[in-house]
Structure 1
Amino acid sequence: MLRRGDDRSLPILMLLPNLVTITGLCAGLTAIRFIMVGRFDLAAMLIVFAAAIDGLDGLIARRLNAQSSFGAELDSLSDFLNFGVTPGLLVFQYALAGTYSTSWVFVLVYTICGCLRLARFNINRDTPLPPGIKPHFTGVPAPGGALLALLPVFMSLQGLIDARDFPVAYGIYLALVGLLMTSRIPTISPKSMRIPRDKAIFVLIGTVIVIGLLVTRFWLLMVLVGLAYLGVTGLSIVNYLRRWRN
């Protein structure tokens, strides 16, 4: 941000990272609007869209050398709304509302854990990793938490289950996802992922399959992605417990 009295021109590209962040924020706010009118499918799609573009703002900022404290704080506030508040409201209205009086407690646990996770991330954002340690997330990141929280909704929209049939179990599951976000468990980060050159063709083919499912069987794709991430998170938990015991 320019200081008052600074009349220097600002290249429009320097605003691009913040524009991406605001686009995601608009998606999260619009998702709340659809939750209010019972369009849970559209709300879930908008949360997925916000998760898909999350991280692009930071990547673009680094490429354009447009990083700023303002952009970092805006991104954090956007993440709290998109992946802390909105998924909790969706789950509550879709599966928990009207079932039992304490169901809101599970939503509070999930949302507050998301807030605490982002606060911890902010204060550790510029802390360098120790030598020899691969890049990783501490706890499940906020977009990943939203993906896990909405997995039963995705399965319901695909017709595999009806999450509204087991509200107690879903509420407990939601709270556990929140606790995973605030945990100290190291979880996978895209920055640490490497693909052997001779396997790159399979990544390209997989991308084609993902695009095909995206336009034909969107909810099936989200179920598969959610289950895959749940499996990877489970492996991270197992590895963490093994190291803790040793």
Structure 2
Amino acid sequence: MRRPLHRLAPRPRRSLPLFHLLPNLVTILGLCAGLTAIRFALVERWEIAVGLILFAAVIDGLDGLIARRLDAASPFGAELDSLSDFVNFGVAPAVVVYGFALQAIGDAGWVFALVFAIGCCLRLARFNVGRAEPEAPARTHFTGVPAPAGALLGLLPVYLSLGGVWATETMPWAIAVWLGLVGALMVSRLATLSPKALRIPRERAVWVLLLLALLVGVAFTQFWVLMTLASLAYSGTLVYAAVRRHPPGRG
């Protein structure tokens, strides 16, 4: 028997402000950059491929910031960000480095590329599990190398070659070992610095801004050399963390 129309309760309509989709759109933009980097790697356009991965790393920092500012964080956005990170910082760098130098040693080169990509995947899976745990008030260290930092480190041989510092493509076995080492660092228990550990005294803020302006200027003239120095500097922090043996944090 049909109920009278006047007795049918209206269904509640769920609505979502359009700007709440902005963080996810930014994440998808980063994912497009990572996938396009793979495309350019297949045609050996190394500068564009690496540049797109670096762009994706910048985007990775922006989507979370936008989500927090707009109060638009969601479990869906968190999972989308993690899947995007695996493509951008696990698959894309592995394909770029393999095409750049490792294919010269055949199947062995691909094995090391797989080690790097799987290391990134395991690192992100551990991060997702740890994300559900209650957050401690003062976590200033990550456990292992974060995925974006791992991608930037894995691409160090490409920076060296593009910057004219060292023709690393002639040393595929050394690059293979380096890529495997970075993959291992991502799943290690090494306590690495997080942004919360970086504290700048107010009286030095002007000098820090001046240094950043100098680095931006250098980036316009010697970008690949700057990326090489940045990667070596981050590698130095890993050595420092290993020597000091900070207690591992979350992430």
TM-score, structure 1 as length reference: 0.91
Between the aligned partners of 2:240 and 2:170, the Cα distance in structure 1 is 28
Tell whether 2:85 aligns with 1:47: no
Give me the CA root mean square deviation: 1.8
Match of 1:68 in 2: 74
The 8 Å contact of residues 150 and 182 in structure 2, kept in 1 or not, is answered as yes
The 8 Å contact of residues 129 and 135 in structure 1, kept in 2 or not, is answered as no
Cα distance, 1:46 vs structure 2: 0.4
The 8 Å contact of residues 145 and 177 in structure 1, kept in 2 or not, is answered as yes
Cα distance, 1:149 vs structure 2: 0.3
Match of 1:81 in 2: 87
The 8 Å contact of residues 191 and 247 in structure 2, kept in 1 or not, is answered as no
Superposed CA offset, 1:61-115 (max 9, x none): 1111111111000000000000000000100000111324311111111111110
Cα distance, 1:139 vs structure 2: 0.2
Between the aligned partners of 2:13 and 2:54, the Cα distance in structure 1 is 39
1:178–1:6 Cα change, 3 Å? farther
Identity in percent:
56
Between the aligned partners of 1:207 and 1:139, the Cα distance in structure 2 is 27
1:119-158 equivalences under 5 Å are 119-130=125-136, 133-158=138-163
Between the aligned partners of 1:193 and 1:118, the Cα distance in structure 2 is 23
Letter of the structure 1 residue corresponding to residue 29 of structure 2:
T
Between the aligned partners of 1:219 and 1:35, the Cα distance in structure 2 is 17
- Which consecutive residues of structure 2, in runs of 5 or more, have no partner in the other structure? 1-10
SS of the residue corresponding to residue 187 of structure 1 reads strand
Match of 2:169 in 1: 164
1:1-246 equivalences under 5 Å are 7-130=13-136, 133-240=138-245
SS of the residue corresponding to residue 184 of structure 1 reads coil
The 8 Å contact of residues 85 and 147 in structure 2, kept in 1 or not, is answered as yes
Between the aligned partners of 1:16 and 1:209, the Cα distance in structure 2 is 32
- From the CA coordinates, give the structure whose radius of gyration is larger: 2
The 8 Å contact of residues 18 and 71 in structure 1, kept in 2 or not, is answered as yes
Between the aligned partners of 1:142 and 1:106, the Cα distance in structure 2 is 17
SS of the residue corresponding to residue 74 of structure 1 reads helix
Cα distance, 1:6 vs structure 2: 6.2
Between the aligned partners of 2:234 and 2:141, the Cα distance in structure 1 is 15
SS of the residue corresponding to residue 137 of structure 1 reads strand
- Which consecutive residues of structure 1, in runs of 5 or more, have no partner in the other structure? none
TM-score, structure 2 as length reference: 0.90
The 8 Å contact of residues 83 and 142 in structure 1, kept in 2 or not, is answered as yes
1:243–1:33 Cα change, 3 Å? closer
Cα distance, 1:207 vs structure 2: 1.6
Give the total of aligned pairs.
Answer: 238
Between the aligned partners of 2:140 and 2:12, the Cα distance in structure 1 is 38
Superposed CA offset, 1:159-188 (max 9, x none): 000111111111011001000000111101
Show structure 1 runs of 4+ deviating over 4 A: none
Cα distance, 1:243 vs structure 2: 7.6
Superposed CA offset, 1:196-227 (max 9, x none): 01111111101211221222221122112111
SS of the residue corresponding to residue 101 of structure 2 reads helix
Cα distance, 1:134 vs structure 2: 3.3
The 8 Å contact of residues 165 and 225 in structure 2, kept in 1 or not, is answered as no
